Chain A
Amino acid sequence: MIKHLFKLIWNRKRSTSLLMIEVFLSFLVLFGVLAVFYYNYSFYTEPTGFEYKNIWNVELNWNTESDELVREKLIQLDLSLKNFSEIEYHSFCSRFSRPYSSGMWSTGLTNEREQKISTVFNLADDNFTKVLGQKVVEGRWFNDEDIAAALNPVVINDALRNEYFGENVSAVGKKIIDKNDKGDVVETYMVVGVIDHYKYRGEFEKEYPLLVQRLSLRDTSIDAGWNNNTMLLRVKPGTGVAFEEKLVKYIVDLTKGWKVKVDPVEQLRESQITEKANSILVSSSIAFFLILNVALGLMGVIWYSVNRRKSEIGLRRAIGATGKKISVQIIGEAVVLGTFAIIIGIVFAMQVPILSIMDTTVGIILTAIFSASTLIYLLITICSLYPSILASKIQPIEALHDE
């Protein structure tokens, strides 16, 4: 049977080659869209490691003021916020450490095995986990014990621990050494704790190895600016715009004219997800219509060839083929054709991980290939189903009059 199908396709290779190209291109379109989707989805399913409900992001902006004055005002603010019953906890951090931050500060760290690890640096104070709820899996978060520490205390994430010290090796109490290109030691850090996750840039971001340094408002070695101009608040559930307005007024008065911008983290999250969803929606709906277009065309072409081969099919019936056999033949031909197209498509698709075009794991590519192939087979079967039913209804007599 299969051999017979190959023969049929081979004899009609001129007309089938174009169909094959069409199916092949459709495969690539499906593959592309699915790969991007799985790529994003795989990140989306990984935990971000922080909570987003009832958390507000407050950005403070001061004009040219001396570092001392800024620091003084920040400390004042820090102390006075405790008086608001609506605020459960508040925390200061750098602009590049807050949830859904657009920026990133990263450096290469080199471990003992001389592997370079591109590491993201965050800067946050002692209350950070109380506000955002990251889980400490080893050691502890920063606290007063760190005030006079000899070595720069840091909390790292699981990813950095695994890459720097090795899988599941305990990290607390160990040092991380930051060297420059020439091998000079720039800074030595002491790990005081490990958190499981903190994908601070949001759901669709890869989890990078992360190193969090301790922010203290009193620390004069930290320049005032983006290092300490961001504040995160955990507010009581149900706290709304009215309090936001009150708080902004309060801060403006206290700081004598700083600019204050408040964004609920939930809204930041929503807008990021909407943006991503929209771009996926646009590209996938374009792909959907392209494929629908192809599907209709494919169905038409198969239906047509059934019509054209009425006499051949009638003859087969006359010789004794059952209607079902005819159906299977029509679908079989289309499936064999699709298989060729998919094989060529897979050869192309495999170039993505081979040439590392996209920063993905092979798993995602294979899943995308697998599901694109499945969809193409499904599509082909559906497209040939109706014509094949028509074909199975052709009566042997129709072999005689060839309309």
Chain B
Amino acid sequence: MLENYIKIAWKVLLRRKFFTFVSLFGISFTIFVLLVATSILDHAVDPGRPQINQSRILVADRFMATDSARNSVWMSSPGFMLLNRYAKTLKTPELVSIHSGSNTYFTYMEGNKLNFTYKFTDDTFWQIYKFNFIKGKPFGKKDYNEAQHVAVITEYAARKYFYQTDVIGKFIEVDGTDYRVIGVVENVSKISSLIFSDIWVPATTSKDDIDNEFMGSFRLSVLAYSPDDFNEIRNEWHKHLRASVADLPENMVRLTTLKCVLKSNEEMIAELLIEPQENFDSKTTDQEQVVETAGISNYQLFYLVIAGVMLLFMLLPSINLVNINLSRMIERNSEIGVRKAFGATQKILVGQFITENIILTFIGGVISLIAAGITLSIINNSGIIMHAHLSLNFTVFIFGFITCVVLGFVSGVYPAFRMSKLHPVEALRGGSK
């Protein structure tokens, strides 16, 4: 049966080449756009190395303090002092790391202006995030505690600054201070903005007064033993945050609500696209300090929104395909009539036409896969997204497969029903061959 379907499908496709071209064009283009979009999304959700522990990591990057009596809000990232005193002491996670946001600086070399990004981190950072070391090693606890001026740099930074990667022991200027290079790592994709950088140095070498910063520019990454521990970790962090009130700077003691949420990777990405609703609880007025640590967990909504957008995007091409299919169906009246007269049920006919359409979609899918592969490698090489390594991995491939089926199905069902509903007497009337 299937063999017969394929035979017919192939013949039908070859017969009206213009239509086949239009159909394939629409299908390939649609799936192509969706493939590129998913591969970027997938790269963000599951970037692989260095974030291979992704599923066990929780991150806090925002800090919010509200003074509900005065209706004023402070928003920033948590400060070093807050995290160092109250997060480093967390018992439930396997590892805790504090690292800063991106800082950029310029340096001048032989009449050229070089632009680098650097981050302040600690020793555990390298244990949570598994960077690929090309040369040397990361800085350890001793380097960190003694505030050694040592740096880990990327291959990219090494080539830009030293014109080579064999640079262990050489000195690099980071924002006005010289650091000794002790490790060279593979480049990190800019999509992983949390850890993306050219250079990493121990936070203890910062010239800023970070030891007194309650709010500042640091982020917290914790590695749980297992994702099941997330709630326990959040609860412990909640307690610690409550205790941190003791260290609030003077101008902030009035603050009634502190919020610093530990988020999973999915929640982080969801936040980029859907701003979380920040509700202030105004019932807590009498100097009571309320601490919030619960996750937003609206990332299900996020996936829904993404799926919705994709379906919406598929709507126009689908209708176009339906129209083309409906047009094509008229010349197959006689075929439908004959099949019905010789015993095909409606169900069989629907099956046949949907199969035909899905075959067509899959041809389009293959074309789009090739086009997407080329486009992604262009994106990777062009540096639009720095150091990105977008690829058509298994997830993206499966997604492409599913979209093919959905598109083939959606655009095939209605015409197939119209076709199969055709009255055999009607279909056989008119003397076409």
* Residues of A in contact with B (beta carbons under 8 Å apart): 15, 18-19, 21-22, 25-26, 29, 63-64, 241-242, 244-245, 248, 252, 257, 259, 261-262, 286, 289-290, 292-294, 296-301, 303-305, 308, 402-403
B322 neighbours in A (Cβ, 8 Å): 18
Which of B21, B112, B176 has the largest count of A CB atoms less than 10 A from its CB? Answer: B176
Complex interface residues of chain B between 311 and 351 (CB less than 8 A to chain A): 315-317, 319-324, 326-328, 330-331
Give A159 to B176 CA distance when docked, in angstroms.
43
Give A245 to B106 CA distance when docked, in angstroms.
10
Give A121 to B52 CA distance when docked, in angstroms.
47
Contact A25 B319, CB 8 Å, known A257-B176, A300-B327: yes
Across the interface, A241 reaches (CB within 8 A) one of B112, B320, B323, namely B112
Across the interface, B208 reaches (CB within 8 A) one of A15, A63, A301, namely A63
**What is the number of contacts between chain A and chain B, taking CB atoms within 8 Å?**
92
How many Å from the CB of B360 to the closest CB on chain A?
14
Q: Give how many B residues have a beta carbon under 8 Å from the other chain's beta carbons.
A: 38
Binding stretch for chain A, among B22-30, B75-83, B262-270, B272-280: B22-30
B176 neighbours in A (Cβ, 8 Å): 252, 257, 259
Complex interface residues of chain B between 232 and 249 (CB less than 8 A to chain A): none
Contact A290 B208, CB 8 Å, known A22-B323, A297-B324, A308-B330: no
Give A22 to B326 CA distance when docked, in angstroms.
14
Across the interface, B22 reaches (CB within 8 A) one of A241, A257, A290, A296, namely A296
B19 neighbours in A (Cβ, 8 Å): 300, 304
Complex interface residues of chain B between 66 and 109 (CB less than 8 A to chain A): 104-106, 108
28 sampled A-B residue pairs with Cβ under 8 A: A18-B326, A19-B323, A22-B319, A22-B320, A25-B315, A25-B316, A63-B208, A64-B208, A245-B108, A248-B108, A252-B176, A257-B176, A259-B105, A261-B105, A292-B25, A293-B25, A293-B320, A294-B316, A294-B320, A297-B22, A299-B22, A300-B327, A301-B324, A301-B327, A303-B18, A305-B327, A402-B431, A402-B432
Which of A19, A29, A299 has the largest count of B CB atoms less than 10 A from its CB? Answer: A19
* Chain A interface, >50% SS class: helix
Query: When each residue 121-135 of chain B gets 1 if its CB lies under 8 Å from chain A and 0 otherwise, what string results?
Result: 000000000000000
A293 contacts B29, C-beta separation under 8 Å: yes
Give A261 to B103 CA distance when docked, in angstroms.
11
* Residues of B in contact with A (beta carbons under 8 Å apart): 18-19, 21-22, 25-26, 29-30, 33, 104-106, 108, 111-113, 175-176, 207-209, 315-317, 319-324, 326-328, 330-331, 430-432
B430 neighbours in A (Cβ, 8 Å): 402
Instruction: Name B208's closest neighbour in chain A (CB-CB).
Output: A63
Contact A290 B209, CB 8 Å, known A248-B108, A297-B324: no
A262 contacts B106, C-beta separation under 8 Å: yes
Give A261 to B209 CA distance when docked, in angstroms.
20
B317 neighbours in A (Cβ, 8 Å): 290, 293
A18 contacts B330, C-beta separation under 8 Å: no
B319 contacts A21, C-beta separation under 8 Å: yes
Give A403 to B430 CA distance when docked, in angstroms.
10
How many Å from the CB of B199 to the closest CB on chain A?
15
